[in-house]
């Protein structure tokens, strides 16, 4: 159990790491260029891994609906957007606001699809996130 | 004196975010909901690995097409930024690909998706704070007390929502 906890934690850290690296590339090129390289290099790694341990056309691929193929298009904008924002807001606030956007839209989707879950907890969560986003506007002076 | 072109204003310490920056971040985060929906659908039909392979393949093509279109329509001389990126700056995708492999392992463990998301969120924010604090990789922004409170609220709200799904 301790191992999977660590792995899940590391997976989160890798998200931040990749955003930081892409942000650095965007500083020298552009947000879209950094998104291109992020996807191309990631593709290279995944192709290599698939050659060793996977299949390039698994069963069921042909049956998948169209929107199962479209995630990568949103991914391009997602990485480019992250590279753009991280320069302006720093890694921590970028991370927080991206997660906020994800959760708020996720709850909207849950409501539309009627996903089961605790209503009051969900409502409290949305309220806290909105408050956090509202507070982020202030920036505030550095205290040390 | 020629003015050096900078891609973005240097991250200042504690500058208040502009509303457009906050909205851009929220909208960008919103895309993740669609990405997760799309990629998890593909993973359900096939495997997590194939789903990630498709997302990266489609993404590579889409980004290349967008770059060509932008290059053809609009020539701002963006390539003349003058600063060359170090080689490691091209390796963000390695980290992204590893993330997929790790999360597909942990989502199928006793942690399930809920635990994977919650721990991932914490790992993400902790490392981001360390990066900001020490100015790793040329990006630096000292987190202010207000930033920390804002982050704390967002993380707490997110954890509530994640666990509300049970």
For residue range B44-78, list pLDDT tens digits in order: 999 989 999 999 999 999 999 999 998 766 655 55
* 8 Å CB contact of B99 and A15: yes
| Cα B50 versus chain centre, distance | 21
* 8 Å CB contact of B132 and A12: no
The interface residues of chain A toward chain B in range 98-127, judged by CB-CB distance below 8 A, are: 98-107, 109-110, 115-119, 121-122, 124-127
Alpha-carbon span B101 to B113, nearest angstrom: 14
DSSP state of B46: S
- Domain residue ranges in chain B: 18-78, 109-166
Please list every residue in chain A whose beta carbon sits closer than 8 Å to the beta carbon of residue B157: 100, 103, 124-132
Mean pLDDT of chain B: 84
Query: Between B112-134 and B92-107, two packed helices, what is the crossing angle to 10 degrees?
Result: 150
Six token digits for residue B17: 């975010």
CB of B32 closer than 8 Å to CB of A81: no
The interface residues of chain B toward chain A in range 33-72, judged by CB-CB distance below 8 A, are: 33-39, 41-42, 45-47, 49-64, 66-67, 70
* 8 Å CB contact of B124 and A46: no
Closest partner residue to A49 (CB to CB) among B41, B49, B54 is B49
Alpha-carbon span A24 to A120, nearest angstrom: 41
pLDDT band at B2 (very low <50, low <70, confident <90, very high): very low
In this prediction the ipTM stands at 0.91
Give, in order, the Cα–Cα distances in Å from B130 to each of A13, A86, B13, B136.
11, 14, 15, 8
Which of B160, B112, B118, B121 is CA-nearest to residue A99? B121
Establish, for the pair of chains A and B, how many residue pairs have beta carbons separated by less than 8 Å. 480
pLDDT band at B138 (very low <50, low <70, confident <90, very high): low
DSSP state of B81: G
């Amino acid at each position: 159990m301790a191992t999977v906890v660590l792995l899940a934690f590391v997976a989160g850290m890798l998200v931040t790491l990749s955003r930081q690296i892409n942000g650095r590339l965007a500083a020298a090129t552009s947000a879209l260029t950094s998104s291109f390289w992020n996807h191309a290099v990631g593709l290279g790694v995944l192709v290599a891994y698939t050659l060793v341990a996977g299949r390039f056309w698994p069963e069921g691929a042909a049956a998948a609906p169209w929107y199962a193929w479209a995630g990568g298009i949103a991914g391009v904008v997602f990485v480019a957007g992250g590279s753009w924002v991280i320069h302006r807001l720093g890694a921590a606030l970028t991370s927080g606001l991206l997660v906020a956007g994800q959760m708020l839209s996720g709850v909207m989707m849950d409501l539309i699809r009627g996903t089961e879950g605790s209503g009051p907890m969900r409502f409290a969560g949305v309220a806290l996130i909105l408050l956090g986003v509202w507070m982020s506007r202030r920036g505030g002076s550095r205290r040390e | 004196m020629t003015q050096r072109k900078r891609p973005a204003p240097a991250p200042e310490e504690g500058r208040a975010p502009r509303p457009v920056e906050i909205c851009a971040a929220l909208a960008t985060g919103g895309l993740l909901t669609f990405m997760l929906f799309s990629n998890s659908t593909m993973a359900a039909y096939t495997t997590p690995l194939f789903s990630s392979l498709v997302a990266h393949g489609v993404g590579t093509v889409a980004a290349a097409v967008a770059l060509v279109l932008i290059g053809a329509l609009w020539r701002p001389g963006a390539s003349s930024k003058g600063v060359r990126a170090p080689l490691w700056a091209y390796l963000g995708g390695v980290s992204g690909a590893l993330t997929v492999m790790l999360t597909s392992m942990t989502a199928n463990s006793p942690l399930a998706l809920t635990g994977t998301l919650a721990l991932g969120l914490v790992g993400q924010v902790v490392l981001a704070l360390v990066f900001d604090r020490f100015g790793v990789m040329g990006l630096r922004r000292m987190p202010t007390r207000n930033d920390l409170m804002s982050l704390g609220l967002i993380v707490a709200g997110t954890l509530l929502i994640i666990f509300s799904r049970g």
